[in-house]
Amino acid sequence: MSNNPLPLIYSAFLVLLLLSRSVQAEQPPVLKYNVTGSGNYFPYYTNDKREPGILPEIIMRVMQLADIQAKHVELPAKRTVKYLHLGHIDFDVISLEWLSQTEKQNPQFIYSDSLFTIEEYLVSLKSNVTNWQQLEAIKNQPVGTILGYYYYDDNHFKRVDFSSEKQLIEALKLKRIEVVILDKLPALYWAQQFNTDIDFGALHSLGNLKIRLRAEHQALLPKINMAIDELKQSGRLDAIINKYTKNIPPQ
């Protein structure tokens, strides 16, 4: 019988190595995501760690309820789209009504159940808003948009990209552009901040915000949808929305 301990040490090392690999394989992935929008996407994103906005709070609660580890990655809107397509992040939040038909059918992505409804309008100064009561009015016209954002019909008008919702309202106030496309709540918030007399023209899109998840994570979707339903049924989703919208003036 050999007294050489090396075979036993080698065997123990192999067992530990296999156990380590097994533990690593069982650890769930940490999903990376972004919901910053332009960075001035109030009330959906506030850039305030204590009160980060509607979307960061909702996503945090959904992931906690679904028992999914997730990490927010700060990105500008244009890079978010690129990183999601390349797989550098795993999900974002979007309305299908913002997307072209081709992008809606992109097999790279799957979509969660609805979080809440979102409205997007043609927005102008009150003195000009009668010019923009029909969506067809923007055909071939310069329209204020946000760099990196989707617009399903942007082949019908001339995009004039600004960096944020805040800058769109500033541009209206300074009469640098006559009409912009904006979500209702950021439009009302920034108009209040800049004391700008805006009004709403034609509805550009009406849809539901959903989590857009890369298709390789499809197995997680049932857990995510159950968490969304629980958040709605408990009233916590509405409470988060009300927390950030209670001081925004009504139209």
How would you write the pLDDT of the chain (251 residues) with one tens digit per residue?
455 555 555 555 555 556 556 445 456 789 999 999 999 999 999 989 999 999 999 999 999 999 999 999 999 888 999 999 999 999 999 999 999 989 999 999 999 999 999 999 999 999 999 999 999 999 999 999 999 999 999 999 999 999 999 999 999 999 999 999 999 999 999 999 999 999 999 999 999 999 999 999 999 999 999 999 999 999 999 999 999 999 898 87
Tell me the C-alpha distance between 121 and 172, whole Å.
14
Answer whether residue 16 is part of any domain: no
Answer whether residue 124 is part of any domain: yes
**What is the pLDDT at residue 29?**
83
Same domain, 36 and 85: yes
**What is the pLDDT at residue 78?**
86
Answer whether residue 1 is part of any domain: no
- Report which of 238, 239, 194, 209 is spatially closest to residue 119, judged by C-alpha positions: 209
Tell me the C-alpha distance between 171 and 116, whole Å.
29
Same domain, 189 and 225: no
**What is the pLDDT at residue 13?**
56
Tell me the C-alpha distance between 117 and 93, whole Å.
12
Considering the entire predicted model, what is its pTM? Answer: 0.86
Same domain, 135 and 181: yes
State the burial class of residue 227 (Cβ atoms within 10 Å of its Cβ: 0-12, 13-18, 19+): buried
Q: Tokens representing 193? A: 């901040």
Same domain, 136 and 108: no
Whether omega before 142 lies within 30 degrees of 0, making that bond cis, reads no
Same domain, 123 and 185: yes
Same domain, 163 and 122: yes
- Report which of 154, 144, 134 is spatially closest to residue 186, judged by C-alpha positions: 144
Structurally, the chain folds into a number of domains equal to: 2
- Domain of 186, CATH number, reads 3.40.190.10
Answer whether residue 229 is part of any domain: yes
Task: List the beta strands (DSSP E) in the chain.
Answer: 31-33, 70-72, 91-95, 109-111, 116-125, 142-146, 158-162, 179-183, 198-214
Same domain, 91 and 201: no
**What is the pLDDT at residue 28?**
72
Tell me the C-alpha distance between 183 and 246, whole Å.
17
State the burial class of residue 137 (Cβ atoms within 10 Å of its Cβ: 0-12, 13-18, 19+): middle
**What is the pLDDT at residue 53?**
97
**Which residues have a Cβ under 8 Å from the Cβ of 209 and sit 6 or more positions away?**
55, 93, 94, 95, 114, 115, 116, 117, 118
Same domain, 123 and 198: yes
Answer whether residue 9 is part of any domain: no
Matching residue, tokens 């309008």: 121
Same domain, 105 and 122: no
Answer whether residue 20 is part of any domain: no
Domain housing 100: 31-116+208-245
Same domain, 102 and 214: yes
Task: List the beta strands (DSSP E) in 126-197.
Answer: 142-146, 158-162, 179-183
